[in-house]
């Protein structure tokens, strides 16, 4: 890949040639475009949340918190009613995927195949325990973030957030366009 300069990249783009396949400041152009997309998305969401206003964000956070609380209060009941079915299905799906992994086992060591099988069973059990924890943790994290979100836009220095969002939007669009 050729390492091109900033103005050379713009000249290529203006000439109708793709900048993909080249490096800009040592980073492939595809990654500049991806970073631009991410920056534009984050800044756009920040701007939309600011436009929505604190009152709407507080209302949304309250409704989301109520849903999460209702979910947690009924979680135990649901776990007894459909939990066994879901657990059995997950066990079969995870067991099938993990058991299909082929690990090279030397033929001269007796009992190593049993040890590998035991290791696979431990992996299945760990995945079955970690998956619900990951889902629960994600739900709680979203609840906490949405609860704290309105206070960010009412802070006295929130103007800095708005300026950074605007700059990120322009810079993100710029690099996404340059990488096209």
pLDDT of residue 156: 82
Q: What pTM, to 2 d.p., does this model score?
A: 0.61
How many other β-carbons are positioned within 10 Å of the β-carbon of residue 36? Answer: 21
Give the integer Cα–Cα distance in Å for 50 and 172: 19
Q: Residues 25, 30, 36, CA angle at the centre, nearest 5°?
A: 85
DSSP helix/strand/coil, 12 = helix
pLDDT of residue 136: 72
Identify the segments of the chain with pLDDT beneath 50. none
C-alpha distances (whole Å) from 13 to each of 9, 120, 140 are: 6, 52, 45
**Phi, psi values for residue 2, rounded to 5°:** -85, 140
Q: What one-character-per-residue DSSP string does 50-97 give?
A: HHH-HHHHHHHHHHHHHHHHHHHHHHHHHHHHTHHHHHHHHHHHHHHH
C-alpha distances (whole Å) from 84 to each of 66, 72, 137 are: 27, 18, 21
85-130 per-position pLDDT tens digit: 566 666 666 666 666 666 666 666 666 666 777 777 777 777 666 6
List 2's β-bridge partners, or say none: 22
């Amino acid at each position: 890949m050729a390492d091109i300069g900033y103005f050379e990249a713009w000249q290529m783009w203006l000439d109708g040639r793709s900048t993909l396949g080249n490096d800009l400041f040592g980073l492939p152009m595809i990654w500049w475009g991806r970073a631009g997309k991410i920056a534009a998305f984050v800044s756009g969401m920040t701007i939309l949340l600011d436009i929505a206003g604190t009152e709407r964000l507080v209302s949304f956070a309250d409704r989301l918190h109520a849903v999460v609380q209702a979910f947690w209060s009924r979680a135990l009941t649901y776990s007894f009613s459909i939990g066994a079915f879901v657990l059995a299905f997950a066990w079969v799906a995870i067991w099938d995927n993990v058991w299909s992994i082929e690990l090279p086992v030397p033929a001269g060591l007796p009992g190593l195949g049993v040890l590998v099988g035991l290791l696979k069973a431990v992996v299945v059990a760990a995945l079955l325990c970690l998956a619900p924890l990951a889902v629960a943790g994600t739900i709680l994290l979203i609840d906490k973030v949405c609860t704290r979100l309105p206070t960010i836009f009412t802070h006295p220095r929130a103007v800095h957030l708005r300026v950074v969002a605007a700059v990120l939007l322009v810079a993100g669009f710029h690099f996404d366009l340059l990488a096209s």
